């Protein structure tokens, strides 16, 4: 008698909705994926929500959401891209206020 192994294929998951952005600044953006999803950015994976720092001002970035795989489910396809453009200015922080450098007289224009 031979040993027989039954392998059940994993089920596929649907593509999730795109993530959402908030707190968009010149070098910072916060991204929130749908519940149960993670964020994919530049081929790296991040938990949600995640604040991305050190971005370039006035630059467009693409973020995706996906649902991780499990022992019974394949990883979902990426969501449609969320396109986020950072602001075209660096901000000066202080006294709980944000001031564009060009408007506070701190930067030559």
Three-state DSSP class for 69?
Answer: coil
Integer Cα distance of 19 and 85 in angstroms: 14
Question: Tens of pLDDT along 19-42?
Answer: 999 999 999 999 999 999 999 999
Range of the domain at 58: 20-104
The pLDDT of residue 36 is 97
User: Is residue 4 domain-resident?
Assistant: no
User: Is residue 9 domain-resident?
Assistant: no
Enter the pTM of the model. Answer: 0.76
User: Is residue 5 domain-resident?
Assistant: no
Under a CB-based contact definition with an 8 Å cutoff, are residues 108 and 49 in contact? no
User: Is residue 47 domain-resident?
Assistant: yes
Question: Tens of pLDDT along 44-95?
Answer: 999 999 999 999 999 999 999 999 999 999 999 999 999 999 998 755 555 5
User: Is residue 10 domain-resident?
Assistant: no
């Amino acid at each position: 008698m031979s040993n027989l192994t039954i392998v059940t294929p994993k089920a596929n998951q649907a593509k999730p909705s795109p993530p959402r952005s908030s707190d968009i600044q010149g070098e910072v953006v916060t991204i929130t994926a749908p519940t149960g999803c993670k964020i994919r950015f530049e081929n790296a994976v991040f938990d949600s929500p995640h604040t991305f720092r050190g971005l370039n001002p006035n630059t467009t970035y693409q973020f995706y959401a996906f649902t991780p795989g499990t022992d019974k489910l394949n990883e979902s396809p990426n969501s449609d891209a969320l396109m986020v453009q950072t602001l075209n200015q660096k901000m000066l922080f202080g006294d709980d206020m944000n001031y564009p450098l060009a408007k506070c007289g701190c930067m030559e224009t």
